[in-house]
Each structure stands twice: as structure tokens, then as C-alpha cells.
């Protein structure tokens, strides 16, 4: 179980997304047809992906700090430029971090910063202040460091981690 | 070029294309969604070659992602990471469908050989 913690996190996020997607976005008849199809396709893809099950919890601090910075920068920029362009600009700047820090242990910095960036893309109505964004971006950085070896090479995994941190916040905020 | 830079440059290019298109067709409000679709689709393209075998697979992932985007647009509006999660699902679903296709093909070939 401990070894599969990253995969469990991803599976939970994706099933939450699929259930919300199919329960509210599509008419009932299509939903009945699509639920087995989407779930089967997802499980087949998830099962046939060559998972690397080791958990790498090192380099947590650098991931958390860079994700926090990325999230706050994107959040501050987004009213001026729009969230997508803000994400593009912060991501482009983050991609050069690899050249600034030559040490091999900092090679993941662009990815963790980009991960935090997605939290900063949230609407200001949902995440009201920069402090909340910094905490959630830091949490997404922590998730990134913890689940680094899970679903490696699958596009959108960084977004999934940011989505998890924002959804956790929304669930806690709405129900507690 | 690493995947983060490739994705960021594609996103900035998508925003520039939207800006130019809005100048040419100011009444087309659907163009406002262009950067969002481009952004999510770039996440599909960030996949490794182990998952996405060739350019046609990227195209297939893009099509699956577009369906997810159209459906989820109003549900996850304003939630950070929604585009990335949709892209991740699209990649895994397409990967699953392709693997299923390969299995069916192998089964048919073995059946023919018998």
C-alpha cells in the first residue's frame, strides 16, 4: 500500500473527475452508455501503464518552495494577462531554472514550478487570496515530490496534482 | 528543449493566435476558448514516447481531450488543474483503447493461425 500511494492518489483524483464529469455534464442515456466505456478505457490504460512503484520523498523542500513561487507568480499575473498566458509566461521562465541550477537534484524544479502554476490559474472567486494559493501550491509541490515516480511520462499528471490540492481545499471549505 | 518549455511556448503561441483571430473576427466568442483547448492539448503532448508512440496517437489524444473539454467546460470552470486532469484522463483513455486494439488484433491473428 505504501509503495502504491502515488497511484492511489492519481486513481482517486481521476475517479472524482470522471464521476463529476459523467454525473453532471452529460444527459442520462448517454451517461449510462459512457460510464462503462470511460471507466473501462481508463482502467485498461492505467493497468497497462508500466508503473514504477518506488516512492521518492527526497528533495521535498525544493519542490514545495518552487511550486509555491510558481503558484503565487501565476496568481498575481493572471488578472493582467489571463490565467493561460500567465501560466505560459511562468512556465517559460521556470524552464530556464534547469540552466541556473546545474546540480542534478534541481533538475525537477521546472516541473514542480509548473505544477504550482496550475493552482495559480484558479479563478479569484474560487481562491480568494494569495496566501491560500501559496499553501495549496505548496501542497501540490509536496504531492509532486511524493508521487514523482507514479505515472511518469503521462501528460497532465502535474495538472492532476494541482487539481487534487484545489479540490481538497474546496471540499474542506464547503463542507466543514 | 524540455517538455515544460515546449508546452509554455505552445501556450503563448495559442494566445497569440487567439489575439490575431479576435482582431479578424471580433464577434466570434467561441474564439475565447482557443487558449484553453490549446493549453490542455499541450499537456497531452507532454507525454513520453513510451505512452504516445507517434504523432497520430497525439492526434487521437487531442480528439479525446476535446470531448472531455467540451463536456467539462462548465463543471470545472475556474478550478486550477482541471485542464491537466482532463488531459491526463485523455492520455490514459487513449492509451487504454490502443492497448485494447492491440490485444484484439493479436487475438484475431492467433485465431486465424489456428
Residue A50 confidence class, pLDDT cut points 50, 70, 90: low
Of the CA atoms within 13 Å of residue A133, those in its CB half-sphere come to: 29
- Of A140-154, A158-172, B72-86, give the range with the top mean pLDDT: A158-172
Q: Helix, strand, coil proportions of chain A in percent (round to 5)?
A: 75, 0, 25
Q: Which residues of B touch A157 (CB under 8 A)?
A: 84, 88
How many A×B Cβ pairs under 8 Å?
A: 202
Candidates B43, B50, B77; nearest CB to A156: B43
Q: Which residues of A touch B76 (CB under 8 A)?
A: 17, 20, 163
Using the Cβ of A73 and the Cβ atoms of chain B, whether some distance falls under 8 Å is answered with no
Residue A75 confidence class, pLDDT cut points 50, 70, 90: very high
Q: Which residue of B has its CA nearest to A39?
A: B93
What's the mean pLDDT in A64-82? 91
CA A101 from centre of chain: 24
What's the mean pLDDT in A158-170? 88
Q: Which residue of B has its CA nearest to A158?
A: B84
Residue A2's CB is within 10 A of a number of other CB atoms, namely: 6
Q: Which cell numbers in the block locate residue B107?
A: 487475438
pLDDT of residue A69: 92
Q: Which residues of B touch A90 (CB under 8 A)?
A: 8
Per residue in A87-136, pLDDT (tens digit) is 999 999 988 887 887 777 778 888 999 999 999 999 888 888 889 999 99
Q: What value does the mean pLDDT of chain B take? A: 85
Res. A151: pLDDT tops 70: yes
pLDDT of residue A73: 93
For chain A, what are the domain ranges?
A: 5-48, 60-175
Residue A1 confidence class, pLDDT cut points 50, 70, 90: very low
> Is residue B67 exposed (0-12), middle (13-18) or buried (19+ Cβ within 10 Å)?
middle
Res. A33: pLDDT tops 50: yes
pLDDT of residue A133: 92
pLDDT of residue A76: 92
Query: Of residues A30 and A168, which shows the higher confidence score?
Result: A168
Candidates B44, B61, B93; nearest CB to A38: B93
Q: Which cell numbers in the block locate residue A158?
A: 502535474
Q: Is A50 left (phi over 0), alpha (psi -120 to 50) or beta?
A: beta
Residue B28: which residues within 8 A CB-CB, separation 6 or more?
A: B21, B22
Q: What is the ipTM of this complex?
A: 0.87
Candidates B12, B76, B88; nearest CB to A88: B12
Residue written as grid cell 514542480:
A112
SS3 string of B1-58?
Answer: CCHHHHHHHHHHHHHHHHHHHHHHCCCCHHHHHHHHHHHHHHHHHCCCCCCCCCHHHH
d(CA B8, CA A117): 11
> Is residue A116 exposed (0-12), middle (13-18) or buried (19+ Cβ within 10 Å)?
buried
Print pLDDT tens along chain B (114 aa).
788 899 999 999 999 998 898 888 888 877 888 888 898 899 898 888 888 888 888 888 888 888 888 887 777 788 888 888 889 888 888 888 888 888 888 888 888 776
What's the mean pLDDT in A80-91? 90
pLDDT of residue A7: 74
pLDDT of residue A30: 60
Res. A52: pLDDT tops 70: no
d(CA B71, CA A108): 33
Q: Which residue of A has its CA nearest to B10?
A: A88
Amino acid at each position: 500500500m505504501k509503495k502504491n500511494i502515488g497511484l492511489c492518489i492519481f486513481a482517486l483524483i481521476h475517479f472524482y473527475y470522471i464521476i463529476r464529469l459523467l454525473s453532471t455534464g452529460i444527459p442520462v442515456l448517454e451517461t449510462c452508455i459512457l460510464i462503462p466505456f470511460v471507466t473501462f478505457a481508463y482502467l485498461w490504460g492505467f493497468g497497462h501503464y508500466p508503473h514504477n512503484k518506488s516512492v521518492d520523498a527526497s528533495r521535498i523542500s525544493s519542490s514545495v518552495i518552487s511550486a509555491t513561487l510558481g503558484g503565487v507568480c501565476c496568481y498575481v499575473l493572471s488578472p493582467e494577462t489571463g490565467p493561460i498566458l500567465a501560466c505560459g509566461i511562468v512556465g517559460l521562465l521556470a524552464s530556464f531554472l534547469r540552466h541556473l541550477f546545474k546540480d542534478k537534484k534541481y533538475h525537477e524544479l521546472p516541473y514542480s514550478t509548473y505544477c504550482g502554476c496550475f493552482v495559480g490559474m484558479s479563478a479569484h472567486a474560487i481562491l480568494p487570496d494569495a496566501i491560500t494559493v501559496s499553501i495549496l501550491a505548496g501542497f501540490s509541490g509536496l504531492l509532486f515530490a511524493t508521487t514523482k515516480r507514479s505515472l511518469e511520462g503521462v501528460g497532465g499528471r502535474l495538472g492532476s496534482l494541482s487539481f487534487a490540492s484545489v479540490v481538497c481545499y474546496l471540499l474542506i471549505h464547503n463542507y466543514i | 528543449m524540455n517538455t515544460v518549455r515546449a508546452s509554455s511556448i505552445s501556450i503563448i503561441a495559442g494566445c497569440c493566435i487567439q489575439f490575431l483571430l479576435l482582431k479578424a473576427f471580433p464577434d466570434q466568442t467561441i474564439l475565447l476558448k482557443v487558449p484553453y483547448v490549446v493549453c490542455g492539448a499541450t499537456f497531452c503532448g507532454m507525454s513520453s514516447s513510451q505512452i504516445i508512440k507517434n504523432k497520430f496517437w497525439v492526434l487521437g489524444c487531442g480528439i479525446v481531450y476535446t470531448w472531455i473539454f467540451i463536456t467539462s467546460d462548465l463543471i470545472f470552470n475556474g478550478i486550477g488543474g482541471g485542464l491537466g486532469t482532463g488531459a491526463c484522463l485523455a492520455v490514459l483513455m487513449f492509451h487504454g483503447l490502443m492497448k485494447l486494439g492491440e490485444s484484439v488484433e493479436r487475438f484475431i491473428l492467433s485465431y486465424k493461425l489456428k
